[in-house]
Structure 1
Amino acid sequence: MQIREKLVRLKKTAVMVGMMGAGKTAVGTAVARLLGVPFRDSDEEIVRAADRSIAEIFERDGEPFFRARETEVIARLLTSEPCILSTGGGAFLAEANRALIASKGVSVWLRADLDLLWQRVRHKTTRPLLRTANPRETLRGLYEARLPFYQLADIAVQSAPDLSVDDMARRVVEALATRPDVLERD
């Protein structure tokens, strides 16, 4: 499938939202490559600006501080050239972030079920919210609490264990292509 030849340009930033482990960074990077546009990651931008990891920011400054920086970064990235933007799992929960994304971009929920998410994150040590006595139960609680927010996304793309990153990226591009306000076609 030659996506690049069929599509002229990304008209607004596509913002990947969803749970940790949904593939926002990996799939987002592949989507950006397919469309020939920049890939940005709001968490990476925060880490670079703070010169410390997200876990260190959470520990030193707290989650409210992190969330405020996250909103600032998302607002800045939404006003730059259209790109594929990966956000942290909690970013879409904030009404301010959802409003920013709705006004200047399009939200794409990478929907994955709890078992798949757990398989992907259970061995990661970089997830500060899962540093609990029972991380699987913590993940379930986060999943259930966040689901109503993710369901507000403009586009949802279902993940599955047998889909590669490239397969998911193609699914996302196909979903974006249904939106003439997002992708301009030849």
Structure 2
Amino acid sequence: MPSDSDSPAQEKPAALPFESRTIALVGLMGAGKSTVGRRLAEKLGRPFFDSDTEIEKAAGLSISDIFALHGEADFRRGEQQVLKRLLTLPPHVLATGGGAYLNDETRALMREHAITVWLNADLETLWKRVQKRDSRPLLKRGNAKQVLTDLLAEREPVYSQADLVVRSKDGPHTNTVNAILKALKTWKPK
């Protein structure tokens, strides 16, 4: 009878390239970054962080209150500091705020420490989702649907620079999670 030492060593399968990196979800408000991010983290057995939640904890204020009391420029500075901290943590799933990826320095940090996934949703899907919450300060600047339309047109060229693009459709978020998992398996570092 052969002993255990006679059998070939059990080799651990090689890690996929994405396993050593944070997965940062980017996209416009309503794309599903927080909900999809939580579910993706669960599937991968990783911690989940939502940058907006972390900003609120650090400031002791809601996002709406930060905008109202300090303005968008201060919010963006705080957002950048929080993202710098989060991106140096061990691999996790990170839902970013809709405007975070627009900052050149933050985008460079994400390229260095994360795989960016743009959750690309069409205008009607975004509009349907954002109407469920009235706490989005950028949508309080006039006609909310027009503001959303303008933000989408302005930000799409930047979001398209993400490592992966996954459609976020109206329907179960599980579909988006599965599409991300499939895309991650074929991702290769540049």
Match of 1:60 among 69, 82, 85: 69
TM-aligned CA deviation for residue 128 of structure 1: 0.4
8 Å Cα contact 1:10-1:35 kept in structure 2? no
Q: Secondary structure at the match of 1:10?
A: helix
Q: TM-score, normalised by structure 1?
A: 0.90
1:50 partnered with 2:69: no
Cross-structure match for 2:187: 179
TM-aligned CA deviation for residue 132 of structure 1: 3.0
Q: Which has the larger radius of gyration?
A: 2
Q: Residues 136-175 of structure 1 correspond to what in structure 2 (within 5 A)?
A: 136-162=145-171, 164-175=172-183
Q: CA RMSD in A?
A: 1.9
Cross-structure match for 2:23: 14
Cross-structure match for 1:104: 113
Mean Cα deviation higher: 68-77 or 23-32: 68-77
- Measured against aligned partners, the alpha-carbon deviations of 1:126-174 in whole angstroms (never above 9, x if no partner) come to 1000013310001101111111110111100012223x11111111111
Q: Percent identity?
A: 42
Q: Secondary structure at the match of 1:20?
A: coil
TM-aligned CA deviation for residue 177 of structure 1: 1.3
Question: Unpaired segments of 5 or more residues in structure 2?
Answer: 1-13
Q: TM-score, normalised by structure 2?
A: 0.88
Which one-letter code corresponds to 2:28 in the other structure?
Answer: M
Asked which structure has the greater RCO (Cα within 8 Å, sep 6+), the reply is 1
Q: Secondary structure at the match of 2:94?
A: strand
Q: Secondary structure at the match of 1:62?
A: helix
How many residues align structurally?
177
Distance 1:89 1:78 in 2: 17
TM-aligned CA deviation for residue 75 of structure 1: 1.0
Task: Pick the structure with more strand per residue.
Answer: 1
- Measured against aligned partners, the alpha-carbon deviations of 1:68-98 in whole angstroms (never above 9, x if no partner) come to 1111111111111100000000000111111
8 Å Cα contact 1:157-1:172 kept in structure 2? yes
Distance 1:85 1:60 in 2: 26
8 Å Cα contact 1:31-1:84 kept in structure 2? yes
Find runs of 4+ consecutive structure 1 residues off by over 3 angstroms: 6-9
